A and B are shown apart, each in its own frame.
Chain A
Amino acid sequence: MKSVSKEQFVQLIQEHQKIINSLCKIYYSSEEDQKDTRQDIILQLWKSIPNFRNECKISTWIYKVALNTILSKAKKEKRNIATEPISNDLESSSSVSFDDEVIQLQHIISLLNDVDKAVVVLFLEGYNHKEIAATLNFTETNISTRFNRIKIRLQKIYNTKQPYELR
């Protein structure tokens, strides 16, 4: 993208704030961590925007930069996100409703590790395996295998704990 002004960048962030906020909340339970991550993502987007070549949708590019920022941050922190009790934060969070579907979604995603969360989020966003692979810098085969493993793992959990829309 040729020279984006600061005003244009601010507008771009505000137009896509739901993506950034959602990813931060999926990965982090504490508000402080969410805010720090949000700032890291915005900064990374600002640094990377001169390299955006309009080869994909701007939202795809935002997902790519945001998820890669989160994944490298988590790698540095050597954090096991899967063990974080996201569900504990549900009732206190102002932006999350008590809608059963959303709670169910957050619970399912909280059971996954960092990369698997990214895979599922991109799938829910409507991307196919090839696009997910390109976004996360994996091979398509790796994503397909990973996706099948996620399905099997969650199926096992839900078979033993609670029934949920199983096919």
Chain B
Amino acid sequence: MNFDNLKEAWNLFKFLNNFDAISEQEVWSLIEKEATPPINLKRRIIQNSVICLILTLVCQAG
């Protein structure tokens, strides 16, 4: 099979798919969603450690 004969078809296929436009809004919404900061792992660990420490102290005091 000679794949070189398909190169022209591939270029035509790409050309046809160029009309299916990716809107500016679509890209913006995706990257904006990604830009929203996820829950910070470090912050979560510190919060949990503090809660755990308080609970330990309260239990020991009791």
Binding site for B on A (CB under 8 A): 6, 9-10, 13-14, 17-22, 25, 38-39, 42-43, 46-47, 94-97, 99, 101-102, 104-106, 108, 120-121, 123-126, 151, 154-155, 158, 164-167
Contact = CB atoms under 8 A, between A and B. Distances in A.
Interface of A (DSSP majority class)? helix
Nearest to A100: B9
A16 B14 CA distance: 10
18 contacts: A6-B28, A10-B27, A13-B27, A14-B22, A14-B24, A21-B17, A21-B20, A25-B13, A46-B34, A95-B20, A96-B16, A99-B9, A101-B9, A105-B9, A105-B10, A154-B1, A165-B2, A167-B2
Contacts of A10: 24, 27-28
Q: Which 6 A-B pairs have the closest CB atoms?
A: A18-B18, A101-B9, A21-B17, A124-B10, A105-B9, A167-B2
Nearest to B25: A10
Interface in B12-46: 12-22, 24, 26-28, 30-31, 34
Interface of B (DSSP majority class)? helix
Interface residues of B, number: 27
A94 B12 CA distance: 14
Contact of A18 (B15, B26, B30): B15
B57 interface: no
Given A17-B20, A95-B17, A96-B16, A105 B6 contact: yes
A18 B20 CA distance: 8
Given A14-B22, A17-B22, A102-B12, 13 more contacts: A6-B28, A13-B27, A18-B18, A21-B22, A38-B22, A101-B9, A102-B13, A120-B3, A123-B3, A125-B10, A154-B1, A155-B1, A165-B2
